[in-house]
A and B are shown apart, each in its own frame.
Chain A
Amino acid sequence: MSATTKDHHVHLAMTPSVRAVPRWRRWLVVALMAAAVAAFASAFFFEWWHFTLYAPQYPHGLKMGISLTGVSGDVAEIDELNHYIGMAKLEGVAPIERHYAAYGIGGLAVVIFAMTLAMGRRTGWLIVVPAVAFPLTFTADAFYWLRLSGHALDKHAPIHLAPFTPQMFGNGEIGQFLTFAAPSSGFWIACFGASLVVVATFIRQRSVCAQCSQRGSCGSVCKSAFIGNELT
């Protein structure tokens, strides 16, 4: 191994076009991926989206937060109001997603690391897909459930309302309520995690794989498990 290290210096000095990639770059990529995974993991414990409903009877607003595992805030009161229009209880929303959220985060971490180590030069860009997809999937899923809640209204409810989708982003109005909804810290932390993965992947592709001695022959899979020895 010591011989290889010596060679490596020699390569650097003598033939820059085929030089070995400095090891610290590889570890930087791994460190950035680890930071991204840590961000995703911590986002698990934060609220991802919040809603506030204003009406004269609620001068401080009714607040509801959504996290990956459940809903919080004035849930009982919002449920109480929703029963008038026949909307299902919030507790019953997205049961599968909430149950598997922790596995989802864990799986995401494993996938990101596995892809970082395994992907070759051509496929490396795919690492961004699960990272970016996670917050996007959350948003899409939340929208799906919001839409479903507003469209699957109990026909026997005291108040009959045309199906609607509650405003998920920004300001809205429903009945006597002025509403506001926006992403919360958990969502932003996840976005930060996703951007770390994007940045790390960028470095991986441009500054590691593109300069790797195996770049011509690695194909879809990195033969040296990314942080392993470069084959010469």
Chain B
Amino acid sequence: MRSLIIRCLLAGTVGVLACSNSAEEKFKQQQAGTLNASTSVKDLMKARNLSEADVEAALKTYTPTGKKDEYLLFASGGQSGQILVIGVPSMRLLKVIAVFTPEPWQGYGYGDESDKIVQSSTQMGHKLTWADVHHPALSETKGDYDGDYLFTNDKANGRIAVIDLKDFATKQIVVDPILMSNHGATFVTPNTDYVIEGSQYPAPLGREYEPLSTYKEKYRGLVMFWKFDRQKGRIDPDKSFGLELPPYTQDLADAGKLDSDGWAFVNSLNTEMATGGTLDGKPPIESGASQNDMDYMHIINWRKAEQLVAQGKAMTIAGMKVLPMSVTGPEGVLTLVGESKSPHGCDVTPDGKEIVVSGKLDTHATVYEFSKIKDLIAKGQFEGKDPYGLPILKFADTIRGQVELGLGPLHTQFDGKGNAYTSLFIESKVAKWSVKDLKLSEKISVHYNIGHLVAAEGDTVSPDGKYVVAMNKMSIDRFSNVGPLYPQNFQLIDVNGEKMRLLADMPIGIGEPHYAQMIKADKLKPLKVFTPGFNPYTGMKDPNAVEGGKERIDRHGNVVDVYMSAVRSHFTPDQIEVDQGDTVNLHITSVEQAEDQTHGFTVDMYNINLSLEPGKSENVSFKADVPGVFPFYCTEFCSALHLEMTGYLLVRPKK
């Protein structure tokens, strides 16, 4: 009996062993890279004229196939109206998120719902097909990036967009019906309760006409606090409010955090209130706006402002709640303090205790102590009032000190070791300095005319440092000539060691990026495929989504609803016949669930183009106004039979 058991066990074991998975081994061998070092590194360096520093930089940034980046950079796409997603340290472009501008590949602005998002921002009767994207902001929880949402602004048309990082799709564009342009946007409060939007060029609030001669009386600035409903993933305009500001051309902003939570800070750059008039022999705005030695930082107690709004102290302009200066000044909600002229950055330190401001026309960075500011406001100790009755704090009483950095300091970010990094526009350098000691430690050249810079999680309560990206406005001699419109230049700087090291250049050929935010890649948890029938633009299962086998064409009078599925390598139905003049509603669902198995859908000549990622459901409606034979097909090379993934829309001519 024992021998029988042993025999059984042996047979089983042999069976299992004989059945080892060599298919997997063989597959892995086939997939492995075949790079063999055939030439010595020294020979390669010589052949390509590379220094040891070059090789070190290459080793710090080279990312072999299949390896992923440590950080993701969400950069403004400037005039493209989009957001660029870039891997760090490889500096590879991963995606262009369609935001304000129709984007064909993602089918953004070509389907009913995404078109609604783009068109919802038609302004003053004009369909806007571009935007000036400046400052993306990642959502925060307790002052740290949480990887859930991204916001950004359109400076030119005063718009704010909400992007869900679950699918990297724009969900909402809100328009401020009061202001014309913005710049102090977007910045979020530490728990993303509010998205801050500061106006840029003063204009009559509510977009009315007033002559320039009434600039001081009728023109105003504004800062909006857009309420973000995290549950819904949307901004709630009804719960949002604004603060009327003097016509000082407000600039960048930042939200307080930790000690300064509940407060916000907004720069300004034309406290002279110059309006130009060059043809009349008056100085241009650039001169008129640069006469005073100091401009004003606006100090805003938004928590208190929120209470004042709740108490009904806001007025209503174009349907929006706005607290007038006559309320905010006396209540200590809006206070001014001098700042170096023509400032650009207004950056709260990671501990929330201090604010760093640099003026483009001053060589210093100024460090304000928030506790001093708060005390002075509480005690009502002011130096005076501005023409609008707003209290002004005494500059010298609010600062801890200044540090001389160089020419044209703009924007500051931080690392986790107590260092600050400030871009020097005129000098084309990045300055590294100690916040505690107010001491410059080092400068590194960048190429050229750096605007903003970004450090890894460099504006949060716990910055990582590690990498700084310089966002340069000019590239001059860095890249091959591609005509007079030169690429912008992102430069990656290693800030891990004692000395900063320039690692890599990345040309940006789509617009002028302004600001970016850099988040640890593992904080993001995006979807790989949509749940079947999901419409990302409504954020729910599409009521018209169709399952495989239930495809159909319904006709009601002259309205034709087509419930279509897409799967490798066919659309069902693949023949649609309508009459000229019919309204055609296409409801298309990708019934795929395999990762990265995307289809497209286009109808020739009808300007219809959709992207159908696995599980996605889209609707597109159009009037079949032109008779003819219109092939439709899948625009993604989805499979070996991709070219066969096609069908016909036949529009019968009117009799």
Contact = CB atoms under 8 A, between A and B. Distances in A.
A52 B21 contact: yes
A54 B12 contact: no
Given A61-B24, A199-B5, A202-B4, A84 B593 contact: no
Given A52-B24, A54-B24, A182-B21, A77 B5 contact: no
A170 B26 CA distance: 13
A169 interface: yes
Contacts of A170: 18-19
A173 B27 CA distance: 11
A158 B1 contact: no
A178 B27 contact: yes
A158 B23 contact: no
Given A77-B593, A80-B568, A180 B21 contact: yes
Given A77-B594, A80-B594, A158-B644, A203 B1 contact: yes
Interface in B1-26: 1, 4-5, 8, 12, 18-19, 21-24, 26
Given A198-B8, A203-B1, A206-B1, A80 B27 contact: no
A214 interface: no
Given A84-B641, A198-B4, A191 B12 contact: yes
Contacts, number: 60
B567 interface: yes
Interface string B488-530: 0000000000000000000000000000000000000000000
Nearest to A58: B594
A203 B640 CA distance: 61
Contact of B1 (A84, A171, A183, A202): A202
B24 A80 contact: no
Contact of B23 (A54, A76, A195, A203): A54
Nearest to A74: B594
Report which residue of A54, A61, A74, A203 has the largest number of chain B beta carbons within 10 angstroms of its beta carbon.
A54
A77 B591 CA distance: 11
Given A80-B594, A199-B1, A158 B641 contact: yes
Interface string A57-95: 001010000000000001011001000100000000000
A56 interface: yes
> Main secondary structure on chain B at its contact with chain A?
helix
A178 B641 contact: no
Nearest to A55: B27
A172 interface: yes
Interface in B53-92: none
A131 B26 CA distance: 37
Interface in A151-200: 158, 169-173, 178-180, 182-183, 188, 191, 195, 198-199
A28 to B, nearest CB: 12
B245 to A, nearest CB: 55
Nearest to B15: A183
B462 to A, nearest CB: 34
Contacts of A61: 24, 27
Contact of B19 (A169, A179, A203): A169
Contacts of A188: 12
A59 B31 CA distance: 8
Contacts of B542: none
B23 A52 contact: yes
A52 to B, nearest CB: 7
Nearest to A194: B8
A182 B593 CA distance: 26
Contacts of B30: 56
Nearest to B19: A182
A171 B5 contact: no
Interface in A1-48: none
Contacts of B641: 84, 158
Interface in B634-655: 640-641, 644
A199 B644 contact: no
Contacts of A59: 31
A160 to B, nearest CB: 13
21 contacts: A52-B23, A52-B24, A54-B23, A54-B24, A74-B594, A77-B593, A80-B567, A84-B641, A158-B644, A169-B19, A170-B18, A179-B23, A180-B21, A180-B24, A182-B19, A182-B21, A198-B4, A198-B8, A199-B4, A199-B5, A202-B4
Given A61-B24, A84-B641, A182-B21, 7 more contacts: A56-B30, A80-B568, A80-B592, A172-B23, A179-B23, A180-B22, A195-B5
Interface of B: 1, 4-5, 8, 12, 18-19, 21-24, 26-27, 30-31, 567-569, 592-594, 640-641, 644
Interface of A: 52, 54, 56, 59, 61, 74, 76-77, 80, 84, 158, 169-173, 178-180, 182-183, 188, 191, 195, 198-199, 202-203, 206
